[in-house]
Structure 1
Amino acid sequence: MFELSQRVVLLVEDNADDELMTLRAFRKSNLHNPVVVVRDGAEALDYLFLQGQHAGRDPSIWPQVVLLDLHLPRIDGLEVLRRIRTHEQTRNLPVVILTSSKEERDLVEGYQLGVNSFVHKPVDVTEFFEAVRQLGMYWLVLNELPSTAATRKSA
């Protein structure tokens, strides 16, 4: 099992302000886990499937959780989720949609596609920090996952 500080977060976020706030919220919560930031859906899939600019990355570094925005350039978040859930190597990867979308259809489709959690980004900075802190505590500290080898084949 990974040490808590080695549990990687994949943050899929195209908004620089939301990225910065999320990273600050992790630091303020004393969650010092590595956070890999990708800025669009295509790059997220490249990272997960070790292709494109991420083809040479270390395949043993695997996210503990994906924080996924919905409104992304190139490939939207729901399509990223769809592709994550259709591949054996990523099917069980925890995915949390972290979005400003208030659309009921996004919520419904996210759960139909197998999202683990759907969280609206609070507008208030203090509430946003608290939401990210709670997400981090749950997914990085409290939640237990099977070992990487048991949940996915080598990419």
Structure 2
Amino acid sequence: MDEENLLNIILVEDDDGDAKAIRRALNRSHIANPVTRVVDGVEALELLRGETTETLDSYVMLIDLNMPRMNGLELLSEIRSDPKLRATVAFLLTTSTAAEDKAAAYAANVAGYIQKNRLGTHYADLVNTLDHYRRIVELPDMRMQSGRVCD
């Protein structure tokens, strides 16, 4: 994979089993995307706002809906209200089949609402979707969004 098309994945997932399943699917598909995992919305915001040692310029977020401290919808609300983060591309992962959760996610401009039960043990489908996505979609450079000067 060339560096120009390298897609960083920020996985916001409190469940170790689901996080491992996504990582295994990436490895099995021989997709070398770097994955940064945080366990809730609070940690995700710290990462996105540069309050950690890691900085990412281009990324897609996979956000679990039900998490402690700050759930996925609360995180999306914070992201969309922050001018430096609002261009973030995010997919919501959930076990919820509630119509109001799906409506709230799309109201927060998610790129997709993915029900984990539809994935079952086939996280490879999710990984393949992300791989195709990064090949055809131009992602925002978050350095430009945040006002940082590009190297």
Unaligned runs of 5+ in 2: none
How far, CA to CA, are the matches of 2:100 and 2:13 in structure 1?
Answer: 20
State the distance in 1 between where 2:139 and 2:78 align. Answer: 20
Asked if residue 95 in structure 1 is aligned to residue 97 in structure 2, the reply is no
What's 1:144 paired with?
138
Relative distance call for 1:13 and 1:146 in structure 2 (3 A) is closer
Look up the equivalent residue of 2:21 and give its one-letter code: M
What's the CA shift for 1:2?
4.6
Q: TM-score of the superposition, structure 2-length normalised?
A: 0.87
- Equivalent in 69, 86, 95 of residue 64 of structure 2: 69
Q: Structure 1 residues 68, 108: CA separation in 2 closer, same or farther (over 3 Å shift)?
A: same
Q: What letter matches 2:129 in structure 1?
A: L
Number of residue pairs aligned between Structure 1 and Structure 2: 147
- 2:121 aligned partner, one-letter code: V
| 1:108 Cα deviation after fit | 0.3
- Paired with 2:86 and 2:37, the residues of 1 have a C-alpha distance of 20
The 8 Å contact of residues 58 and 142 in structure 2, kept in 1 or not, is answered as no
TM-score by length of 1: 0.85
The alignment's C-alpha RMSD in Å is 2.1
Other-structure match for 1:111: 106
**Equivalent residue number for residue 33 of structure 2:** 33
Structure 1: 5+ residue stretches without partners = none
Q: Rate the CA distance shift 1:40–1:63 in 2: closer, same or farther, 3 A.
A: farther
Q: Which residue of the partner structure matches residue 129 of structure 1? A: 124
Does the residue aligned with 1:80 lie in a helix, a strand or coil?
A: helix
Alpha-carbon deviation of 1:123?
5.3
Q: Percent identity?
A: 29
Give distance in 1, aligned partners of 2:120 and 2:110. Answer: 25
Q: Confirm or deny: 8 A CA contact 2:85 2:142 kept in the other structure.
A: no
Instruction: Give the drift of 1:114.
Output: 1.6
Does the 8 Å contact 1:40/1:74 carry over to 2?
yes
The match for 2:9 is 9
Secondary structure (helix, strand or coil) at the match of 1:3 reads helix
